[in-house]
Every structure is written in structure tokens, then in C-alpha cells.
A and B are shown apart, each in its own frame.
Chain A
Amino acid sequence: MQLDARIPGGPLAEKWDRHRFELKLVNPANKRKFEIIVVGTGLAGASASATLAELGYNVKTFCLQDSPRRAHSIAAQGGINAAKNYPGDGDSIWRLFYDTIKGGDFRAREANVYRLAQISNNIIDQCVAQGVPFAREYGGLLANRSFGGAQVERTFYARGQTGQQLLLGAYSALMRQVAAGKVKVYPRREMMDLVLVDGSARGIVVRNLITGEMESHAAHAVILATGGYGNAYFLSTMAMSSNVSAIWRAHKKGAYFSHPSFVQIHPTCIPVHGTYQSKLTLMSESLRNDGRVWVPDRAGDKRSPNDIPESERDYLLERKYPSFGNLVPRDVASRSAKEVCDQGKGIGPTGFAIYLDFKDAIERDGIDVIRKKYGNLFQMYERITGEDPYKTPMMIYPAIHYTMGGLWVDYNLMSTIPGLFVLGEANFSDHGSNRLGASALMQGLSDGYFVIPYTIGGYLAGTVLPEVDEAHPSFEDSIKLMNEGIAKLLSIKGSRTVDDFHRELGHILWEYGGMSRNESGMLKAKELILGLREQFWENVMVSGSPGEFNQTLERAGRVADFLEFAELLIEDGMSREESCGCHFNEAFQTEDHEALRNDDSCCYVAAWEFNGPGKAPTLHKEPLVFENVELAQRSYK
């Protein structure tokens, strides 16, 4: 199949306007005749559900948790970017566009990213109107800060809880539509399968997590906004239930998967401490605005940080990148951390940590200013580690944080399956091979509030869809298949727990598919994953029965999918013969150990087609064309 991104013609700045004009419209009176399914209630899912309902569509919204308000967007701390240029420091839509394209190391579509930058401003307007309590200046106007490597102050924030506040805003809009009778929310449901009729997405099968029953839901279009797959690595900053299952099962039904190997590793997380650790906690990147990253000069220096004199410290980021210093993008900062730890300079009990020191900032600005800016983060750090960052430097280490990869979508956010739309982190679209700080919230809300409401209308108005309801045999077939899968999991009754398998998969991926990759390591990872998957299906222990609230069974299903997906992640990493953004292949690096892109042969979007279990997937390439920016080697020196 030839991939068509359906990018509208015309100059970059006019593409979205022009496209909105060209899209067919659904007559207002007809909107109520359409049913739309939205899976996921994070920023993208909640905002899409609410907006589509406001327009008049009938929406059915599904989430895993007990309430739509729990989705993991809620954990985003730092902020949301917009090209408002309120501080007047030289920002513009064009600059936000350029920074995002460049930050993504030129592996995203120009048209998508430009649209994102354009819409960014509408998002802020919308959120403010909803009552999101953004930080304010003394005069009552919105405050901005610089964030994650941006040289302009364009980040809007609500303390360290921006994601929470934006999500609660979208959630409140969603609740308003529930009250209006336009949205029906189905909480504690897990999507098991995408149902196709005549090749188009026409519904889903979900498992009611309370009763264990399979339920069918038909619709005219299906939207997946199910987030990222970082939990493939077991330890990550994701929520425990974040998974790949929804998009993976859609992939198995024909949706192409793009860039699974583009996984962002966030530099400022609390280091791993023990075997039974279940998750890693992110410390907002904003900490790097005032904190200085350092390690002891000498490998194996076990002195307490306050005993190590200035002259024996290596402020590695300031040394290597004098102009950006501690504010280099995430991938660069993460790799630098790994590099010094591999040299034995790492600190803490495991040797896999570096210092983030606020001593100078406290001396410069006073403890009150620092407390006002980062008080809640410092408190969180102390709660977890038992150490006071006002007195001793924080210890940080990179952790899996965000996945740029996801289902392939065109400019309309439609996947290769007609009628299946994918929003937010679940799609691959806007961040290329590395996402800049404060851009995830922007993309999720842009997709949900301002893109899908137009593009789905174009699809519905321009497509003839036969009537399909839950009685269609495809639903029954799917339910049968899903029940068989569950029965199989429960019948194994082996001796290893689900988490045990998951943990081992995480080790493999972190070791061979993490911050630094090479050919032989990835080959080894493929082999190990294959072996682990076989063992899983022979020896996993899943207790309980299918017809009840069974959290072990839920996890088993997700881990089974991760075990399949992990192979594609590695496959994708191997196929890309370059280093770009977060994907660092040791064979492709500059003399300074920076990522070396190969624009001649790798300037494409990788889109993988599923060919059936046990069969090699097919790689399709959508060429990336850059007409408005020059492909430059990123340099943060």
C-alpha cells in the first residue's frame, strides 16, 4: 500500500486553513446520527470527546480507570508551550514550529508541526476560559517560563501540576457533555479488539474490568487516544496501567505502526533503588533551569557531595554545551548522564546517578525564591528518597518517559484503517525522534480540541458507511477470539508471575534498546525477547477466573502484548541506519559522540505493517520532505 499523508498543498502557513475549507462538512442536523467511539480519556481523548459532543455527535468514551480524570496526562508537571510571545522575547508561530522540528531532529512532517504551532495559541485561550489556574504575573496576566532547552519563554504552567490542571479542564468539559447526554462514559473498560467491517473501523470490543464480561460497541468511527507504550521497559515514568495493547491490537488489524523505537528517556528522574521498584518518578525538567548537573571528576569518588570541592567537580553539561548548558534537550542530557556513569563517575549506591545541585541557585536567589518555584518538587523528592534537596544535591538519572512512536496517521490523524483515528501520544505524528519539553500537552490538546473535530467531519461527510450495529457477526467473532486468548492465559498455570516476565522484558529493552543501541545488542535483544515470549506462554501464572475483577489477568494481557511489540521496537531500531534524536546507534555518531543523522537515506517515516503472527513485518517508508527548513545538524554547543 502506498502511504498517502494527505498533506494539503499551498504555502506552509496556509495549509491548515485551506484544508479546513476543503474538508467536507457534516450538516448540523446530521451530526446526531453519527456515533463516535473514543478510547482513552487523557488530554487527547477527553478533549476530543467533549468537543465532538459539543458539535452534536454522539460519543461513547472508554477508560481503564475508575474515572476519566485519572488518565496519565495528569502527571505532566512542567507546562505547555504556545507561541503567544507574551514576554516579547522573539517568539512566533514560525519559531515554535522550527524549534519543534529541530528538537525532533527532522523526523516529523513540516505540515503537522506547523499546524501544531498555529493551534498552540488557541489551546491556551480555551484552557484559560475553562478555569485552568495558570500562573500569573502581578498584574494578573499570564506568566511564562523558559523550559527544556527553549531560548524563549513560551511555557505556560500551573505550579508543577500543569498536566493535572489541563486534564481536569478537559475532564470538566467532558463531564459537562455527559450531563448534557451527548457523551456516555464507560469507565473500568479495557479495549480488547478493534472491529472492522468492510475494512473500516466500526467498533470495539471491551472487557468490563469489574464483571469480566466482553461488551460490543459499534460506531461510525473509532478514535484511539490511549497514550504511550513506555511501560514496555517495565520501569518508566508512566502509570502502571499505561499499555500498548489498544494500539497494538489495532496494528494487528491493519494499522501501520510508526517509529516504535523512538522512545524518549527523560534526564531528571529519581534513580532506581531496588528490585521491587514498580515505577520511576520524574522530577520536572524545569529543575534544570536552576539546578546544575555535575559528577565528581574522579571515578569512584565516594565522598559526600558537600565534601567535594568545586575544583574536583565536573559540570558536564556546562562543559560540553557552553551555550545551552544545563538546558540542552532531553536526549542530549540523558546520554551525557549515561556516558559519565559508564565511565564510573556515577554516584549513589548503584553508581547510576548524577547530581543536580541547587546550592548556587539558593545562594543567588535565596531559599524562598527556590522554594516558591520548586517547593512541591523538592517535597516530592524528599518524600521518596528521605533526603533534603535544600541541603544535599538531588540525585537524578534518566528514565523512560515518553514515546514518540505510535500508530501511523495522515494529516487528518487517520490511520491506515479507514475510520480509525489516533490522537495524542498514541500516534507518531509531531515530535519526530525527540519531543521537546512542554510539547506533549500541546499536542494532545491540539489533536483533541482543534484537529479531530474538523477532520473526522471530513471523513464522515465524505464516506458512505453502511449501518452496522452490535449484532454484526464481526463483534461475535472478535469476542470469541478474545475469550479464547483469556482462557489460554488462565490455563497455563505456570510458576512465574506476570510482573516477573515484565521485569525481565524491561531489562532486555533498557539494556539493548535504551539510550544507546548497537547492531549486535539489538540482535541479541530480538533473540532474548523471542525466548521470553515462548517462556511466557508456557510458564506464566495467572490466578483467578475470567468472570471477575482480576487485576492479574489485566496485567497478563498487557504484558503479552508488550512481548510481541518489543520485537517490533527492536526491529525498527535496527532498520534505521542512523542516529537521530532519541535513537542513538553507536555506529552513527560524530567525533563528539553526538547523534549523526543520515538524511540521504533515512529521511523517512517508518511505518510497519503486520503480516500475521510469527511473520516478519513489512516496512513502508513515507518520505519526509522539507521545503521550509534546512536540515541542520543539531548543535547545542
Chain B
Amino acid sequence: MSENINLTLKIWRQKGPNDKGHLETHEARDISTDMSFLEMLDVVNEQLTVEGKDPVSFDHDCREGICGMCGTVINGLAHGPERGTTLCQLHMRHFKDGDTIVIEPWRARPFRIIKDLVVDRSSFDEIIQAGGYVSVNTGQAPEANSIPVPPEWAELAMDAAACIGCGACVAACPNASAMLFVGAKISQLALLPQGKPEAAKRALSMLRKMDELDFGNCSNETECEAVCPKEISITNIARFNREFLVASFGSSEK
């Protein structure tokens, strides 16, 4: 049943990329436990606005856990304490009256802070540009059922394709590595016959782009899998490793 709680928030405030930034304390009063975390922040922002202060900037859009726009680190955990949940789907019933909540932005070298909790994730787009697609122009496609896909592969591909590109994997990785994000895309396309012709080129090129963007190196800490709101498995990273090995040593791609 719903009840109202009071919380102390310590929120990262930073005016712009070059500002140093600091944790600022805000009180959140009379928060219904039915609210989502972002609705709780809305309430805080309404209060700040009425007081003539600068509201907290945070990214969000669909608020149903699929666009991948939202995400902050809550008390040291990306997207907060609930497994398989984006921040917008995290509800306040998971917090207790009197709790102190520390809210910090995703932190990684490629994720420059724009303002407060808002970070730049354009590096993810750049990685996809490096090969996260099947090269097929509109109109070139053959009849859909001429490409049968065993349902087991389709399911595994779908597991990987469920990635929402939120960046929690990078944020949670002790090394700020993007291997789960890249591994998921590589896996999706490697599992499907449509992705096969370009598999080798894709694996090499996406990995190079990822390295070039200064993400860290994977050391199999598996924190990414633990925080992923879509619970994408690290078997996708293993598949990426495999694809990379095959591409490097077994194909003519350089």
C-alpha cells in the first residue's frame, strides 16, 4: 500500500563540462511510495523552481524503461538497487523513510558531463556507426521467409538486441569498459544469418572504434551484467571475444 516518506538527497550538481561539480543536499518531503524515482526528482524540481533555484537536470524520456535515456548511479549502483530495472521504473517503495540517497551521473572518460546528471553518450552512436548494422539498402531485401532462422538463434539474438543503450554497463564497470554494449550488438548480428557476411569486418571495426574512444578494458568483473536493466548476459561478451578471434586469425580482414 502506498505511504509517504521523507528523504535526504545528495545530488551531483555541475554547471557544465568544465565546472568542477559537487554534491548538493536536497530534502524530498512527502514522497508517495507509488512514485517512480524520476517522479520523485520531478517533485524536488518543482520545489526548486518555485523557490527560484536551478532545478536538477537529468535525462529521461519514455519513462517506461525502453528508450535508454535515463540513468544515474544511486547509492553506488547504476539504475539503483533493483535488478533488471531502469531508473524510471524504479519505484520509491524500495526506499525507507529517512533514507539518504546519493545520486551521481554516469562516470567514464568518454561520457563527458553536460550538466548535473546529464552525460554525453554519443560515443555509443559512433560505435554503431563503425559496423553495428547489416549493409542492406531499402528495397534490396529478399522475401522475408527466404531467410529461415532457427528460433533458438532468434531468441538469443533477441536477448542481445534488447539492449537499450543506456550506458549503465559502462557506468558500473570498474574499468568503464563498453564490452557489454558492443558485445550485445555484435552477438545479435553474429547469431543471425543476415549478419554473417560482414561479421569479421564488424567485429574488428567496432572493437577498434571502442578502443579509440577511450573506454576501459574488460576484466570480466561482470558488474555490467548485474546492473543491465535488460539483464543482458556476459555470454555476449564471450561471443564478441570469439568473433574477434575468428576475425583476426581466421579471416582476411585486417
Contacts and interface: CB of A to CB of B under 8 A. Distances in A.
Answer whether A and B touch in the complex at a CB cut-off of 8 Å. yes
Interface of A: 47, 50-51, 54, 65-72, 74-75, 84, 86, 122, 124-142, 158-159, 161, 164-165, 168, 171-173, 175-176, 178-179, 185, 187, 210, 237, 239-241, 273-274, 276-279, 281-282, 379-380, 383-384, 386, 449-450, 453, 495, 497, 499-500, 541, 543-544, 548-549, 551-552
A304 to B, nearest CB: 13
Given A141-B148, A386-B91, A499-B46, A75 B67 contact: yes
A171 B128 contact: yes
A67 B121 contact: yes
B35 A175 contact: no
A383 B122 CA distance: 30
Given A239-B67, A276-B32, A499-B46, A140 B54 contact: no
Contacts of A281: 63-64
Nearest to A238: B62
Nearest to B61: A239
A134 B59 CA distance: 30
B125 interface: yes
A502 to B, nearest CB: 11
Contacts of A86: 145
Contacts, number: 226
B151 A240 contact: no
B210 to A, nearest CB: 15
A129 B43 contact: no
A241 B91 contact: no
A172 to B, nearest CB: 4
Interface stretch (B135-143, B219-227, B240-248): B135-143
Given A128-B144, A128-B147, A75 B62 contact: yes
Given A70-B62, A84-B144, 4 more contacts: A75-B64, A125-B143, A138-B151, A175-B128
Nearest to A126: B141
Contacts of B54: 543-544
Nearest to A134: B154
A465 B242 CA distance: 53
Given A131-B189, A497-B49, A70 B89 contact: no
Given A131-B194, A497-B46, A543 B55 contact: yes
Closest 3 CB pairs of A and B: A140-B148, A129-B141, A172-B133
B118 interface: yes
Given A125-B141, A130-B136, A178-B129, A139 B148 contact: yes
B166 to A, nearest CB: 10
B150 interface: yes
B96 to A, nearest CB: 15
B39 A69 contact: no
Interface string B44-80: 0110111011110101111111111100000000000
Interface in B96-132: 114-115, 118, 120-122, 124-125, 128-130, 132
B29 interface: no
Contact of A273 (B2, B89, B124): B2
B85 interface: yes
B5 interface: no
B27 interface: no
Contacts of A141: 145, 148
A278 B38 contact: yes
Nearest to A448: B138
A138 B150 CA distance: 7
Given A54-B138, A175-B125, A131 B188 contact: yes
Greatest chain B CB density within 10 A among A138, A178, A544, A551 is at: A551
A71 B133 CA distance: 18
Contact of A175 (B42, B61, B64, B133): B133
Contacts of B150: 136, 140
Nearest to A64: B61
Contacts of B144: 84, 124-125, 127-129, 142
B161 A165 contact: yes
B158 interface: yes
A142 B145 contact: yes
B136 to A, nearest CB: 4
A449 B138 contact: yes
B195 interface: yes
B129 A541 contact: no
Nearest to A279: B63
Contacts of B135: 176
Contacts of B23: none
16 contacts: A54-B137, A65-B61, A66-B122, A75-B67, A126-B139, A134-B154, A136-B148, A159-B158, A187-B125, A241-B61, A273-B34, A276-B42, A380-B89, A386-B91, A500-B46, A552-B45
A21 B200 CA distance: 41
Nearest to A164: B66
Nearest to A496: B50
Contact of A125 (B46, B85, B142, B149): B142
Nearest to B160: A133
Contacts of B64: 75, 237, 279, 281-282, 380
A390 B207 CA distance: 43
Given A67-B165, A278-B42, A185 B125 contact: yes
A171 B122 CA distance: 14
A500 B149 CA distance: 51
Given A141-B148, A161-B162, A47 B138 contact: yes
Contacts of B55: 543, 551-552
